[in-house]
């Protein structure tokens, strides 16, 4: 059964799912749902994803949305295929989940604000708010200071191997370096910088960027 | 080994963890970390939780933070003790995780804005922003419209039994009814209202409210 990934594969949340499918060597196909012509808020897509957000997967009888729920499902279902993304013990998994949540709760909100204010608003002719940009950058910097300390002790966020904790960071953190032109947030932190080089050297990342170039 | 829950138990995220421990019948004790006297940003607590946020648990050698990571860990570790919160199959768990993420990504951000603007800012003498309040309430209402539709089909968010998907909603949704004085957001939606009455009739909820009254 080929997994269908519905959405816009160049966007951050669908990319999170695609990266997990690539790491787990799971056959999948992309079904474009084009927000530019309103398909994301159309009746057909809303039946699957009532919030009209990307991505949704269809896998046999299972319809599932929310990127972090999807990556957990496939990491567990194909435990012994491809890269182990969940650790060996319940305690290892707990620490992986901890860092997945740190990304979701602490890093993602201010980082998404930067994307919205610097890239999305201007693209739609709306003015951005310099104060929000300044505050968001400060918040991102504080989170990355904590990552720097953690990554001085372990090679990856949740220990010595690449897991969901690292994978979940890839799609949005990328924006800091290229589209947002704030590479110093990563590069001025020695261990964060080395971690970033390591996780973006993975074939899954390279393939996703090649297949689905970033929209900005 | 008694699980130590560090933080302020009357706050939403520690309460999420306490509810899970009560549902799973896990012995635990509260260790107050008092933000009012700066303990949350003190060196001792920051060693355990570098962001200075509540809660953190200590369980033997394991130190873990992020409430949603903690509740997943205990729901899985004590699978056969207390209430089953994760479903019977990987697919059931995936749908539970989906709704845990919906709370985290779609409901929590605007609901937290309402708490901050209406309760926290005035308590610290800071003016709230009526436009942010209005927009946040609209966002909460839209999410609850989708819940209304879902709960017209299944008794609980992820199916026919109470799971982590429902539990994770308890601590913050409560604010709508009492402290924020917006009960109509719940009560004007028949199925959301019945769901709310059902999940707040659980002994775990009653005990948590009795032991740790709300700060507002």
Cα A94 to Cα A86: distance, rounded to the nearest angstrom: 9
Q: What is the mean pLDDT of residues B137-153?
A: 98
Cα A214 to Cα B117: distance, rounded to the nearest angstrom: 36
pLDDT at A1 over 90: no
Q: What is the mean pLDDT of residues B52-69?
A: 98
User: What would the pLDDT profile of A116-166 be if each residue is shown by its tens digit?
Assistant: 999 999 999 999 999 999 999 999 999 999 999 999 999 999 999 999 999
Burial class (CB in 10 A: 0-12, 13-18, 19+), A19: buried
Q: Does B152 contact chain A (CB < 8 Å)?
A: no
- The domains found in chain A, sorted by start residue, are 3-82 (3.40.30.10), 90-202 (1.20.1050.10)
Cα A13 to Cα B119: distance, rounded to the nearest angstrom: 32
Contacts of B104 in chain A (CB under 8 A): 104-105
In eight-state DSSP terms, residue B39 is: G
- Give me the pLDDT at residue B185, please: 98
**Binary contact (A73, B66; C-beta < 8 A):** no
Q: Does A211 contact chain B (CB < 8 Å)?
A: no
ipTM > 0.90?
A: yes
SS3 assignment, position B180: coil
Rounded to 5 degrees, φ, ψ at A64 are: -145, 135
Cα A28 to Cα A49: distance, rounded to the nearest angstrom: 19
Dihedral, CA of residue B128, residue B180, residue B204 and residue A105, to nearest 10? -30
| Conformational region of residue B34, where left means phi above 0, alpha means psi within -120 to 50, and beta covers everything else | beta
User: What would the pLDDT profile of A20-29 be if each residue is shown by its tens digit?
Assistant: 999 999 999 9
Nearest to B137 by CA among B128, B124, B125: B128
SS3 assignment, position B94: helix
Cα B138 to Cα B108: distance, rounded to the nearest angstrom: 13
Cα B167 to Cα B71: distance, rounded to the nearest angstrom: 10
Cα A58 to Cα A1: distance, rounded to the nearest angstrom: 10
Average of per-residue pLDDT values in chain B? 97
**Binary contact (A66, B95; C-beta < 8 A):** no
- Give me the pLDDT at residue B215, please: 80
User: What would the pLDDT profile of A160-204 be if each residue is shown by its tens digit?
Assistant: 999 999 999 999 999 999 899 999 999 999 999 999 999 999 999
User: What would the pLDDT profile of B1-42 be if each residue is shown by its tens digit?
Assistant: 899 999 999 999 999 999 999 999 999 999 999 999 999 999
Q: What is the mean pLDDT of residues B82-91?
A: 98
Res. A215 pLDDT band, cuts 50 70 90: confident
């Amino acid at each position: 059964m080929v997994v269908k990934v519905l959405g816009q594969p160049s966007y951050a949340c669908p990319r999170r799912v695609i990266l997990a499918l690539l790491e787990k060597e799971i056959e999948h196909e992309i079904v474009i749902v084009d927000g530019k012509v309103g398909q994301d808020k159309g009746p057909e897509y809303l039946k699957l994803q009532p919030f009209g957000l990307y991505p949704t997967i269809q896998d046999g009888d299972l319809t599932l949305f929310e990127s972090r729920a999807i990556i957990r499902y496939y990491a567990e279902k194909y435990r012994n295929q491809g890269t182990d993304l969940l650790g060996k013990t319940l305690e290892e998994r707990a620490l992986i989940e901890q860092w997945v949540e740190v990304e979701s709760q602490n890093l993602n909100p201010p980082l998404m604000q930067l994307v919205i204010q610097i890239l999305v608003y201007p693209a739609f002719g709306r003015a951005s708010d310099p104060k929000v940009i300044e505050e968001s950058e400060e918040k991102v910097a504080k989170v990355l200071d904590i990552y720097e300390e953690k990554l001085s002790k372990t090679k990856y966020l949740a220990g010595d191997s690449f897991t969901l904790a690292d994978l979940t960071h890839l799609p949005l953190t990328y924006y800091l370096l290229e589209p947002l032109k704030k590479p110093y947030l990563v590069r001025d932190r020695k261990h964060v910088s080395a971690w970033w080089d390591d996780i973006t050297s993975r074939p899954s990342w390279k393939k996703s960027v090649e297949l689905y170039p970033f929209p900005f």
